[in-house]
Amino acid sequence: MAAVVGVVVFPGSNCELDVVEAVGSLGGEGRLLWHGDSSIGGVDAVVLPGGFAHGDYLRPGAIARFSPVMQAVQEHAAAGGAVVGICNGFQVLCEAGMLPGALQKNAGLKFLCRPATLRVEASDTALTTGVEVGTRLSVPVNHFEGNYTCEPHTLAELRADDRVVLRYVDNPNGSVDDIAGVCSAGRNVVGLMPHPERASHPLLGSTDGVPLLRSLLVTAGALTA
C-alpha cells in the first residue's frame, strides 16, 4: 500500500500540488489536507508546503501556526511521525516552535529564485534517510525570507547534535553557518528552504530532490531504503 503524505493547504499556500505530484510520481500518495480541519486523517507523513500561508501577514508562519490542523500536526510529530516543512512550511515550523530558530529577510534583500547547490550533512533524518553525507544536490530556492538565524547557544546545540541537515555550498541568503535545513531532536521534523518537489523530474531541470522525497516515503513506511 502506498504511503500517504498529507500536504497541508493554508490560505495562500501555492506549492501543494507540486508536492502531491512529486510524491505520486515516486509511488506514494499525496493527499491535500485543509488547514481548518482539526485532524490529519491518519496520513503517514505531513508536508507543510511553500507559499504565503495567511498572506504571510505579521511574519511568515506567524498566523499559520494557529490554524486548527497544526495541533494534529504537532501530535503526529510528538508521536514520532515525519513532518517536513518546505520554504514557507519551514517558516511555519519555526514559528510553531517545532524547530528552533527563525527565518529573516535575505541578507541582500533580494527575492531569490534559482537553483542552489546543497550539501547533505546528516543521513538519518526523515528527509535524508539513506542519502550519504557529503552528497551534493541542486535544488531550487524561491524565497525572500530564507536567512536562517538562531541564538548562538541554539546553533551550538544544532551542531553538537548533528541537526543541521542541509547546508548551502554557496550561501545565497546570509543564513548562519550556511544552513539550508535543520531537524528536530527526534530527527522526524525537518525544515528546509529549498524545494525538492521542484527538482523531481528531468523536465524540471533536476531530479536531485528525488532522494529527499524518497527518504520521506521510506520514513513514512511505504518503501524500503
How far apart CA 121 and CA 34 sit, in angstroms, is 33
Give least dist CB 107 to another protein, A: 6
In the bound complex, what is the minimum distance in angstroms from residue 147's beta carbon to another protein? 8
**In the set 2, 17, 32, 102, which binds another protein (CB under 8 A)?**
102
Active site residue 145: no
- Compute the Cα dihedral for 73, 62, 197, 160 and give only its sign: negative
Considering only residues 172 to 201 of the shown chain, the ones binding another protein according to CB under 8 A are 174
Q: Name the residue among 50, 171, 162, 175 with its Cα closest to residue 117.
A: 171
Give me the least distance between CB of 35 and another protein, in Å please: 17
Tell me which amino acid residue 224 is: T
Interaction of residue 98 with another protein, rule CB under 8 A: no
Catalytic entry in 29, 95, 145, 197: 197
Q: Which member of 107, 113, 133, 156 binds another protein (CB under 8 A)? A: 107
Tell me how many degrees the CA angle 55-32-147 measures, rounded to the nearest 5: 40
DSSP 24: H
Sole binder of another protein in the list 13, 67, 88, 104 (CB under 8 A): 104
Rule CB under 8 A: say whether 119 interacts with another protein. no
Q: In 3D, which of 176, 210, 175 has the Cα closest to residue 196?
A: 210
- Listed ranges 48-56, 96-104, 132-140, 163-171: which one lies at the site for another protein (CB under 8 A): 96-104
Is residue 156 a contact point for another protein (CB under 8 A)?
no
Angstrom distance (rounded) from CA 86 to CA 194:
7
Catalytic residue among 87, 94, 150, 183: 87
CB atoms within 10 A of CB 41: 12
Q: In the window 13-72, what residues touch another protein (CB under 8 A)?
A: 58-59, 62
CA dist 21 → 17, 106, 149 (Å) = 6, 29, 31
Only one of the segments 9-17, 80-88, 106-114, 131-139 lies at the binding site for another protein (rule: CB under 8 A); that segment is 106-114
Give how far the C-alpha of residue 69 lies from the chain's centroid of Cα atoms, to the nearest Å: 17
Based on CB atoms, which residue is closest to another protein, 3 or 96? 96
Residues lying near another protein in the complex (CB under 8 A): 58-59, 62, 94-95, 100-102, 104-109, 149-151, 174
